[in-house]
Structure 1
Amino acid sequence: MKKKPAALVAVYRLLDWSDRDKCLLLSVLLWGYMSFVFLWHLFTIHLTEFADRFVSTEGAEVMTQVMLFNQAGWLVLVVWGMLLRRTQRHSVLYPPFFMSFFSVAFLLLGWTFGLYSPMTGMVLVGAPLVGFILFGFQRVAWNFAFTVLVVLLLAWLSVQGYSVHAIYFIKYPISQELLSYYWIGSTVAFMAPFITVVIVLVALLLGRWVRREAQVRDQALHDPLTGLANRRELFSRFGFELARARRNGQPLSVCLLDLDHFKRINDTHGHAVGDEVLVRVAEVLRGCLRETDTVGRIGGEEFVLLLPETDHAGAARGIERCRTTIERSPVSLACGELLSFSASFGVVLWQADDEADEHALIARADEMLYRAKTAGRNRVEFWSDPAVAPC
């Protein structure tokens, strides 16, 4: 399997970046975007007939000043961020300054090109979406609220007859009387990189969120050491399997497993070796049982096995296979010696006429486990054995 490029992996983990690095990345992208718009502006006013027909002299001058201001501001933010990163420092001023400058920079661009242009609307929708994901709601909301208020104020002034809308143009290049394909193409060119970046960032960030959600869910339902189902997940599956067994009239075997002399292993060889033993047992149980069976660790050295649609004979074969394999699966110590260990098993068979619930079945299995311990350990005891009549 091919490894993902380091840059792609880094961007995929964008949510884990510091605010400084997020702002630096966006500053670089926005400086490049504004450079593209500035070059378009210079090309348009000097080399196209579009400027003669639609662009005002005053608007062109204002646009040049706006672009120079934008370029200088984003360049300052890039240099500031790179210096912070090189010195491995963070600044509480850098992120809010970035967000505020973003609002001002695009307000000026929207004021110049027109508040009702598709590009202005795209920025008003796309930028806050990315901002909320990257920086949280509160900090971005203040800048977004300020931007919306300014846009509404400019729109109101435009309605009142003041020349504050699309000052770049003598006459707007898209109307019922006029239609400039050059401007339509330019608008698409402006929007394409912005939309692409927004979609890519949102897709990566949402993908990261989905992955985190899966990790959190996995941690909530599985034992972190062995990867087996924890008590919560085990009893959830237990309830499901018991209900299914009652509905279908099929047997369900339940086994409680406890490692023999596990405290001695911890006391003699240390908890690291004890953990290695637990992991080895989990691997053995996974390998010896079916995919439809459930294995869970409910604490310390205790494990529970759920074997659906398994009668006494089937459970005896499966549990005995687990017991012998555990006995033959030692772990290596640091000195090179092999540490062998064993386990005792208590098994109960649920059948269609049994009214016991999950906790009653576990209690029965625990009673059989105690019997296996007192009978010499490293053995299997069945509740349903004829010689073991329940009290």
Structure 2
Amino acid sequence: MKIMTDPPAPRSRLLKLLDWSDRDKCLLLSVLLWGYMFFICVWHQVTVHLTEFGRNYVSSQGTAMLNSVVLINLLGWALLLAWGGWLRHGNRHSRIYPNVFLSFFSVGFVLLGWVFGLYSPMTGMVLMGSPLVGFILFGFTRVAWNFAFTVCVVLLLAWLSVSGYVEHAIYFARDPVSKQHLSYYWIASTVAFMVPFITSVITLVALLLGRWVHREKQIRDQALHDPLTGLSNRRELFAQLAHELARGRRSGQSLTLCVMDLDHFKRINDSHGHGVGDQVLVQVSEILRACLRETDLIGRIGGEEFVLALPETGAAGAATVLERCRETIASSPVPLESGDFLTVTASFGAVLWLPGHPANHALTDTQLLSRADEALYLAKGAGRNRVMFWSQEEEGAAAFP
């Protein structure tokens, strides 16, 4: 299994949103928020000039106030877009820019909430949804200060409105949602305000959480697999091997453990460079995958050293499989940039584990590996490029087949 370094076939840079710079995150959100404010501006003009709701429910003071708030927001987001675009064009970054963005967001939406009413669903949605996205995008500390400031201002305005110092929901001449008067136009408008915001929040959170899940999988894979070949590393291999030994003891099935070492690998690195050495390791790992079953275990535990575990496989079957691996490696030269080909060979040392045999039933994975290492040492001493099995009867190694 190869380790994936990026999400499979990403369709958009949004899938990598967590990796964007703060500047680019602010630019994206500025575009969305400018569009959202423009939508409110259009709604406001249509409502005031073309609807019965505007004539019956909207106050002249509220009209003037919302005109000012919308204008402030549109100009503010446009300036932030221009600033961010200038930074991006020059490939520059600024610590001030994200802070100004967050502060302006807080001020702009507090003003909007004060005009429409601090107790409206839209205000509550912004207060709950915005920090969630902000914490994920910009970190906790920076967003927490702005969120705390916003909450304090909202509480202060709420107290002032309850005490009669400021007017609550200045936009309305009368309450559009009450027992006496229920405006379906306002209910529909509230839903229209909330749907884009909620959709954006859910989309961003889903993308960010998806990216987090992918990163967690990457970290887990990196902890358990060799980053070059994608094979199991020593930790993962021995965990899998312990599981197979326990299963073999219960079922009585044999297992063959093999240590494989590439011949003269140091000479390859010295003569052709470590890049070619890495190419050799990758090709050999792909050959091993192709030659073995999905149920077999493959791991890289050293520079050029691999461990193979073949569950439910006796000596004859294992000898056939390992010989096939050896022949395939030897007959698959590695292409070089010069146009030449590099022939690679490997030596195999294997040990057969029989769970019912009194001599090795209680052997641990480390002891089995030690016996396979002994067989590998003898294979190299016998001329390399061969398969040798550790023989329990003779307390040594024997060549197979």
Question: Which residue of structure 1 lines up, in the alignment, with residue 230 of structure 2?
Answer: 227
Partner of 1:367: 374
**CA offsets, 1:132-178, max 9 Å, x none?**
11111111111011111111222223333444421111221111221
Matches within 5 A, 1:157-306: 157-306=160-309
The alpha carbon displacement at 1:387 in A equals: 4.5
Match of 1:57 in 2: 60
In structure 1, give the amino acid aligned to 2:210.
G
State TM-score, norm by structure 1. Answer: 0.94
- 4+ residue segments displaced more than 3 Å: 161-164, 384-390
Q: CA deviation at 1:385?
A: 6.0
Matched, 1:342 2:350: no
Tell me which amino acid in the other structure corresponds to 2:388.
E
The root-mean-square deviation of aligned C-alpha atoms, in Å, is 1.8
Equivalent in the alignment of 1:380: 387
Verify: 1:98 aligned to 2:101, yes or no: yes
Kindly indicate whether the alpha-carbon contact (under 8 Å) linking 1:382 and 1:388 is maintained by their aligned counterparts in 2: no
Distance of 1:318 and 1:209 partners within structure 2: 41
Q: Render the CA deviation track for 1:267-295: whole Å, top value 9, x for unaligned.
A: 22222222221111111111100001111
- 1:386 positional shift: 4.3
Question: What secondary structure sits across from 2:256 in the alignment?
Answer: strand
> Which residue of the other structure, out of 24, 31, 34, is the alignment partner of 1:31?
34
Unaligned runs of 5+ in 1: none
- CA distance in 2: counterparts of 1:119 and 1:67, whole angstroms: 16
Residue correspondences, number:
386
What is the rounded CA distance, in whole Å, between the counterparts of 1:139 and 1:11 in structure 2?
22
Structure 1 position 88 matched with structure 2 position 91: yes
d(CA) in 2 for partners of 1:388, 1:349: 13
Deviation at 1:247?
Answer: 2.2
- Superposed CA deviations along residues 63-118 of structure 1, whole A, max 9, x for unmatched, are 11111111111111111111111122112211000000000000000011011111
Question: 84-93 or 101-110: which moved more?
Answer: 84-93
What SS is found at the alignment partner of 1:272?
helix
Identity %: 66
Say if 2:375 and 2:396, in contact at 8 Å, map to a contact too.
Answer: no
The answer to whether the Cα contact below 8 Å between 1:20 and 1:91 also exists between their aligned partners in 2 is yes
Distance 2:320 2:10 in 1: 52
- Alignment partners' CA distance in 2, 1:173 and 1:310: 78
Distance in 2, Cα, partners of 1:65 & 1:268? 74
State the secondary structure of the residue aligned to 2:92. Answer: coil
Contact 1:328 1:340 in 2 (8 A): yes
Distance 1:72 1:266 in 2: 62
